[in-house]
Chain A
């Protein structure tokens, strides 16, 4: 069991701007046990084979039918499912608490792949508002642009958009990483609580407004800082982490992360850590 209270951990978190990050409690221990995290299954989930692949055309299905069909295919052991003709439909691929390789050949509407825990998702198109809201873990890659509230309240995992995103990206984010290759709109990181947001392009006004904690990195111009957001110095840990994450995200090749602006919360809130469990699925 990992010792989460070592001074080394605290120093690292603090050096990355998360000055109130104190990892404590059973929930954190569960998350940081690699075996337990790797072998964690929800009740009612399926053992799937990534090499077993199928296509699903959802052109004439509503979101309920499509999501039910995805569940049925997982129950038959399919580990790679390619969704054809999503055509901007809302709420596709939501609530998947399973290992799965899910590929959308087209764009999604609102609330796409919300409340997921575990799947690898690739969207060869655009996503509408609130993509991956409440994501616990997994990886979601959007090949084009995303709407507002991208990654609202995510608690873990990597959420990547290769294009630009709308307003309020990472609103209420509680963990995980949001990485954007293009620009982001106003109120990025609004009320952010933990985790990291990386924007390689420009961001709009009120960046990090009312953020409690967490870190935002911006490569381009910043419209304005929101209340409670302040600039912090980049550290070697930040640069290493950014380089590693961008490589995993397959964006920003040759991007000089050392020149990015780092934004953290400038205000420590009373009793915040004692009240709010951190970014791990065991807490849910």
Chain B
């Protein structure tokens, strides 16, 4: 089933980490397997923030294979070496869990080559790269993941999140949402639904040099949009093309450094409730997600079939 939530403050920053946590926790019943956040934080914008994992969470409910933790350190060392080879400088590094890291790095060259080099290390996956994007995903509900990564203090303008019920692929971090829009900085996607032309599209996109890290159908949306943008389309144009290019049922959100968008399939088969005011847009699979941050009476609505909307901060 899965639940998605998103919000954007227009003209100001807010405690988006805590707000998104409340919205996703309200949707816990839609997906208890994993939770993910893409938060657009108030960073200085000087350096890239790279979040990556060197292994999987093999805790309760995981479908991943257990590994000796010592391999994580080996992989991390190889990542550091590759960064050095690429000419990138690590400004700050944080070990968040035994299997995931957050680096601030100085780098000014091509991100696709960069990503390929880093991910050439076995089992290493870049969860996100950006100057404001902080993409965190792990097993457990919204509160558990929020506490594990100290997200409740994150200040920012907007964010999207996902509570996942695994139906198409494993219970692991690589299949969890959001998906980074590789190789674009600061692009992330969350999705509720099923895509039925996943393999056809995946093969075509891989032939064009795009990369897939999981077998989760939702990853296709991020890659599909990234490929459109790589060929010069705007985000909104890419999203409109997705209404016919993607087959199946979907409601998805996509966020960039300064915008938040939503798209709904032409059969309107997946739910979405939307609240829109001059200074805030909040949306989610169910109204209770919005009510968790706006308990007062407000006017909300369901976007119609085939609708695409994009808001700027």
- List the 8 shortest-distance A-B pairs measured between CB atoms, nearest first: A88-B287, A167-B268, A166-B302, A186-B305, A145-B301, A88-B291, A88-B288, A87-B291
Interfacial chain A residues near B291, Cβ < 8 Å: 87-88, 107
Q: Mark B234-277, 1 if CB is under 8 A from A, else 0.
A: 00000000000000000000000000000000111101010000
Residue A204 interfacial (CB < 8 Å): yes
Interfacial chain B residues near A129, Cβ < 8 Å: 271
Q: Mark B272-308, 1 if CB is under 8 A from A, else 0.
A: 0100000000000011101100010101111011100
| Least Cβ–Cβ distance between B293 and chain A, in angstroms | 11
The interface of chain A, by Cβ under 8 A from chain B, is 85, 87-90, 105-110, 124-126, 128-129, 144-148, 163-168, 183, 185-187, 204-205
| Least Cβ–Cβ distance between B249 and chain A, in angstroms | 11
A88, A107, A125 — most chain B CB neighbours (10 Å): A88
Interfacial chain A residues near B301, Cβ < 8 Å: 126, 144-145, 163-164
Contact yes or no, A187 B267, CB < 8 A? yes
Give Cα distance in the complex from A147 to B269, angstroms: 11
Contact yes or no, A87 B273, CB < 8 A? no
B266, B268, B269, B304 — most chain A CB neighbours (10 Å): B304
Interfacial chain A residues near B266, Cβ < 8 Å: 186, 205
Contact of A147 among B295, B297, B302 (CB under 8 A): B302
Give Cα distance in the complex from A185 to B264, angstroms: 12
Interfacial chain B residues near A164, Cβ < 8 Å: 301
Interface residues of B, dominant DSSP: loop
Interfacial chain B residues near A187, Cβ < 8 Å: 267-268
Give B271's nearest chain A residue, CB to CB: A129
Interface residues of A, dominant DSSP: loop
Give Cα distance in the complex from A109 to B300, angstroms: 11
26 contacts between A and B (CB under 8 A): A85-B295, A87-B288, A88-B287, A88-B290, A89-B288, A90-B288, A107-B291, A107-B297, A107-B300, A126-B301, A128-B271, A128-B273, A128-B286, A129-B271, A146-B302, A148-B268, A165-B302, A166-B302, A166-B304, A167-B302, A167-B305, A185-B304, A186-B266, A186-B304, A186-B306, A205-B266
Give A124's nearest chain B residue, CB to CB: B297
Give Cα distance in the complex from A89 to B271, angstroms: 15
Give Cα distance in the complex from A185 to B304, angstroms: 6
Given contacts A129-B271, A167-B267, contact A185 B302 (CB under 8 A): yes
Give Cα distance in the complex from A196 to B268, angstroms: 23
| Least Cβ–Cβ distance between B306 and chain A, in angstroms | 8
Q: A145-B299, A168-B268 are in contact. List 12 more A-B contacts (CB 8 A).
A: A107-B287, A107-B291, A126-B287, A129-B271, A144-B299, A144-B301, A145-B302, A148-B302, A164-B301, A166-B268, A167-B269, A167-B302
Contact yes or no, A128 B305, CB < 8 A? no
Interfacial chain B residues near A185, Cβ < 8 Å: 268, 302, 304-305
| Least Cβ–Cβ distance between B276 and chain A, in angstroms | 12
Give A146's nearest chain B residue, CB to CB: B302
Give B307's nearest chain A residue, CB to CB: A185
